[in-house]
């Protein structure tokens, strides 16, 4: 069996702007990247779908961050799906690809035949931004709202950033004769560019559970432009987002030719994990020798597994821990 053919626009994010509407956005394709993320795990179909959706959101949102920053998305819930976590690592230098990794934690016994988002219970959606050494990390949290992870992200931007935002996503496995089954995933994100108009107030909120909605943040001509853009997005066909025949640039012309779409440099994206033995050692350095002893197996080793990529590490306990690094063999 051979893999599906590689397209020129696979695994990329294309930023764009609609000059006649003051709207900016991105088009994403994650194909081999999503295969790379999901093949690390043996997830049930519902969990695969949620991770795929979260990866698309991460690539669309993460492309805005600067070099060497890390953006993380996280869903925590009380349902069968306990957590979904993704990381977007911006390019380390100009011309390099960005990297994405993801994993999910869930209770398999609680999964049902309901649609994927219904496996998530009450909880929150969070965006975290690590701006590097000597910089304070940023974190924004909103309650889970709507009927999809995309709707949760839209509620986050309306509530925390007061930016009207809309996502349209599509993903699934592709099957062709003589070709191994593989993932195709694509999406588009649009945001109304910030204005100097007064911010919307809580008593103007029309979203679920009293949260602000994108429509609460636009008025006058801005509202007309925003509504038109949403109507055009509603005409999208699934194959236009994930099929092999419509390039992202062509898609933008099809949708928004009257709004003067202008594209910028494409950002390539790859699957990638930053775990290493050195990082594992650093994370264990806060523990005392007594703590390390409780982590040591009957074979006399300390093991650690990366939840993102599945890498397995086996370490000598005598070289680990705060006390061990100071040369002490016991805790005072």
Give the tens place of pLDDT for each residue, 204-249: 666 666 677 777 777 777 888 999 999 999 999 888 999 888 899 9
d(CA 63, CA 28): 10
Give the tens place of pLDDT for each residue, 21-53: 889 999 999 988 998 888 888 899 999 999 999
pTM (2 d.p.): 0.82
Which pairing describes strands 312-315 and 81-89: parallel, antiparallel, or unpaired? unpaired
d(CA 141, CA 185): 26
Give the tens place of pLDDT for each residue, 262-312: 999 999 999 887 766 777 777 777 777 787 787 888 878 877 776 776 667
| Superfamily of the domain at 12-271 | Hsp33 domain (3.55.30.10)
Domain ranges of the chain: 12-271, 277-326
Q: Do domains 12-271 and 277-326 have the same CATH topology?
A: no
Segment holding 156, helix H or strand E: helix 149-156
Q: Residue 198 — φ and ψ, nearest 5°?
A: -60, 145
Pick 277-326's CATH classification: 3.30.70, 3.90.1280, 2.60.40, 3.90.1570: 3.90.1280
**Band of pLDDT at residue 93, cut at 50, 70 and 90:** confident
Tokens 């949620």 map to which residue? 50
Q: For the chain, how many helices (H) and strands (E)? A: 9, 13
């Amino acid at each position: 069996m051979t893999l599906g053919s590689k397209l020129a626009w696979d695994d990329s994010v294309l930023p764009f702007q609609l000059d006649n509407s003051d709207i900016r956005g991105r088009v994403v394709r994650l194909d081999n990247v999503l295969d790379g993320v999901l093949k690390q795990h043996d997830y049930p179909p519902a969990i695969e779908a949620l991770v795929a959706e979260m990866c698309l959101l991460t690539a669309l949102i993460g492309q805005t961050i600067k070099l060497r920053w890390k953006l993380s998305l996280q869903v925590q819930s009380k349902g069968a799906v306990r957590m979904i976590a993704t990381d977007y690592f911006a390019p380390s230098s100009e011309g390099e690809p960005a990297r994405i990794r993801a994993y999910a934690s869930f209770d398999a016994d609680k999964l049902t035949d309901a649609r994927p988002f219904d496996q998530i219970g009450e909880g929150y959606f969070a965006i975290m931004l690590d701006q590097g050494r000597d910089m304070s990390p940023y974190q924004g949290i909103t309650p889970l709202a709507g009927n999809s992870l995309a709707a949760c992200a839209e509620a986050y931007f309306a509530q925390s950033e007061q930016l009207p935002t809309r996502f349209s996503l599509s993903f699934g496995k592709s099957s062709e004769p003589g070709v191994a089954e593989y993932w195709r995933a694509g999406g588009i994100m649009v945001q109304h560019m910030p204005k100097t108009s007064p911010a919307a107030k809580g008593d103007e909120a029309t979203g679920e559970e009293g949260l602000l909605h994108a429509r609460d943040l636009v008025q006058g001509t801005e509202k007309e432009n925003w509504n038109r853009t949403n109507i055009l997005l509603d005409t999208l066909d699934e194959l236009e987002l994930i099929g092999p025949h419509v390039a992202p640039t062509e898609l933008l012309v099809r949708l928004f030719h009257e709004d003067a779409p202008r594209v910028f440099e494409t950002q390539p994206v790859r699957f990638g994990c930053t775990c290493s033995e050195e990082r594992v050692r650093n994370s264990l350095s806060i523990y005392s020798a007594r703590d390390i002893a409780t982590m040591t197996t009957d074979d006399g080793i300390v093991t650690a597994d990366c939840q993102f990529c599945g890498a397995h590490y086996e370490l000598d306990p005598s070289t680990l821990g705060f006390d061990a690094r100071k040369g002490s063999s016991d805790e005072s």
